[in-house]
Structure 1
Amino acid sequence: MTTPQDLLAVLVDADNVAPSRIGAVLTEVARVGTASVKRVYGDWTSPRLSSWKSAASEHVIQPIQQFANTAGKNATDSALIIDAMDLLHAGRFDGFCIVSSDSDFTRLASRIREEGVTVYGFGERKTPESFRNACDSFTYLEVLEAPVADDAGREPAAVPGRVPTSRLRSDTRLVARLRAAVETASGEDGFGDLAAVGSLMRKQHPDFDSRNWGYAKLSDLVRATELFEVGARPGGGVQVRDRRRAG
C-alpha cells in the first residue's frame, strides 16, 4: 500500500461523478498519498458539466476535453483509459485513484495492478462489483461526507447512521468475513492484531469500510457487534478475539 509521500494520479470521470463530491474524495486521497496529477474528463461543451468547471478550478484539477463524437459511445471513458496507460508506463506513480461508478474501468484497474501499482476506486454504492473488486481498495462516495443536493436541487437519500448491534449480528456476510479475518490473523491464544484484521478484510473485500455501517473506525464496528473481545495489545495497538474462543 502507499504512504502519504507516494505519488498518486487522480483520474475523474465527470460524466459519472457529481462535482460536489470531489472535495471529500481529494481529502480521502490525501490520507494515502500525494495527488501529483489530477485530471477530470468530459465534454466541457455540454451544459451538463457546467457545475464541474468551478469545482475543477477550486481544486486545481486539469479538465480534459473529449467531444462526444458518436451517440451511444463513451468517448470520455476511452480518453481516461488512454491517459491512465500513458501515465502508468511513465513509471512515476505509486498509485492511481479512479473516480467513477462505471464498470468500464474494470479492466483498467486490473491492468494497473498487474504492474504492481495500487489502485484506489471511488464511486457510488451502485458501482458494479466487477469494478469494486478490481481495485485494491474501493470507497463509496456516500460515506465520505454528508449528503448534498444534486444539480437539479433534489435531495439525495440520507446516509444511514450507525447500524445497531442487532442488525450487525444479523448481517451474516459481515459476521462471517470478520470471523474469518480474525481467525487468520490470530495466534494460539485466539487474539489477532486488529490492524492485520483490517488489512486482510481490505485485501479480500476491496469495498470493506467500517464507515459503510456508520462507524468511523474498525474497532468501533467490531465492538458494536458484541461478538468479539477487543482490548489493548501488549506492546501497543489493539487486539481482537472471537468470543467463541474465550475460556
Structure 2
Amino acid sequence: MEEMSTDKLAVLIDADNAQASVISELLEEIAKFGITNIKRAYGDWTTTQLKSWKDHLHTHAIQPIQQFSYTNGKNATDSSLIIDAMDILHENRLDGFCIISSDSDFTRLATRIRESGLKVYGFGEQKTPEAFISACDKFVYTENLREIKEVPQTNNEQNRLKDIITKAVIAVSDDDDWANLSAVVKHINKNYPSFDPRTYGYDKYGKLMKSLDYLELNEIPFNKNRNVHIFIRVID
C-alpha cells in the first residue's frame, strides 16, 4: 500500500479558470500529495458566472476570496491569488502549493515557489499552456479525474508515449537493460510533469506498461503476500 504524504499544502483555486464540477475528485487527488491546510478560491463572487461554485465551497470548506473585476479580463483575480500565495510562502509554514488553473499567468508564481524549495502541484485542463505545466513539479489534467476510459490515441500521441517510456527505461536500466518500474516512474514524473497513465486509459503505471508491445515485463515476488517487484526492458 502506498504511503500517503503528510506535507502541508495550500490549495489556491482560480475560480474564473477552473471547473467546479470536478472539485470533489480534485481534492481526492490532492490528498495523495499531502494535507490541505489552506483552501481558497478566487473570483468575483458577485457575478453569475461563478454560481456553480457556491455549493462546492460550502461542502468542501473552501474559503471564497472576493476580487472585483475592475477591468475587463481576469487579471484582478490572478493578481489576488499571486499576492496571497507570496504572503503564504513568506510565512514559511507549508511544504507545497496546489494551483488550480488552466492559465499560463501562474507560470512565474510556480517557478518562484519552487525556487524557495517548496513543491508545486498544478491542476488544469489539457488546454493548459506548456509553460505552466513545465513550471510545476507535477501537473494533473482535470480530464483524468473523471471516469477512466480507454481513449484512442493518434499516431503522434503513440509515438510520444513510446519515446517517453523507452527513454525512461534506458535512463534507469542496469547492465542487462532491466529497469525497476518504480525507478522508471520516478524518472518520468521528474521529467514530464503532466504524464499520467490515466491519459491512456489505465489507472496504474503497471497496467499501462503491460499493454505496450515494445516492453518486456518480469514480476519478481518479494514476500509471502505475493507482492511483486516489476522490472521492464525495451524489446529491440
State the TM-score, normalizing by the size of structure 1. Answer: 0.87
1:237 aligned residue (224, 229, 232): 229
Partner deviation per Cα, 1:50-106 (whole Å, 9 max, x = no partner): 121111110100000001012235200000001111111111111110000000001
- TM-superposed CA distance for 1:233, in Å, is 3.9
Structure 2 match to 1:161: 150
- TM-superposed CA distance for 1:5, in Å, is 1.1
Structure 2 match to 1:84: 85
- Is this contact kept in 1: 2:16–2:74, CA < 8 A? no
Partner deviation per Cα, 1:79-134 (whole Å, 9 max, x = no partner): 00011111111111111100000000011111111111111000000000000111
- TM-superposed CA distance for 1:231, in Å, is 2.3
Cα distance in 2 for partners of 1:237, 1:29 equals 26
Gaps of 5+ in 2: 223-227
Cα distance in 1 for partners of 2:160, 2:116 equals 31
Structure 2 match to 1:220: 207
Structure 2 match to 1:185: 172
Q: Taking structure 1 as reference, are residues 180 and 234 closer, same or farther at Cα in structure 2, changes over 3 Å only?
A: farther
- TM-superposed CA distance for 1:191, in Å, is 0.8
Structure 1 match to 2:187: 200
Q: Taking structure 1 as reference, are residues 168 and 72 closer, same or farther at Cα in structure 2, changes over 3 Å only?
A: closer
- TM-superposed CA distance for 1:176, in Å, is 1.2
Structure 1 match to 2:50: 49
Cα distance in 2 for partners of 1:48, 1:60 equals 20
- TM-superposed CA distance for 1:21, in Å, is 1.1
- TM-superposed CA distance for 1:237, in Å, is 2.1
Aligned amino acid, residue 188 of structure 1: D
Runs of 4+ with >3 A deviation: 167-170, 233-236
Structure 2 match to 1:30: 31
- Is this contact kept in 2: 1:229–1:242, CA < 8 A? yes
Tell me the percent identity: 48
Cα distance in 2 for partners of 1:61, 1:73 equals 20
- Is this contact kept in 2: 1:219–1:230, CA < 8 A? no
Aligned amino acid, residue 161 of structure 1: E
SS at match of 1:15: helix
CA-atom RMSD in angstroms: 1.9
- TM-superposed CA distance for 1:234, in Å, is 6.2
Cα distance in 2 for partners of 1:194, 1:27 equals 25
State the TM-score, normalizing by the size of structure 2. Answer: 0.91
SS at match of 1:130: helix
Partner deviation per Cα, 1:5-61 (whole Å, 9 max, x = no partner): 110100001001121111111000011100110000000101111121111110100
Cα distance in 1 for partners of 2:119, 2:105 equals 18
Q: Taking structure 1 as reference, are residues 169 and 217 closer, same or farther at Cα in structure 2, changes over 3 Å only?
A: farther
Q: Taking structure 1 as reference, are residues 238 and 19 closer, same or farther at Cα in structure 2, changes over 3 Å only?
A: same
Structure 1 match to 2:116: 115
Aligned amino acid, residue 232 of structure 2: V
1:145 correspondence with 2:146: yes
Cα distance in 1 for partners of 2:116, 2:229 equals 33
1:4 correspondence with 2:5: yes
- Is this contact kept in 2: 1:193–1:233, CA < 8 A? no
Gaps of 5+ in 1: 147-158
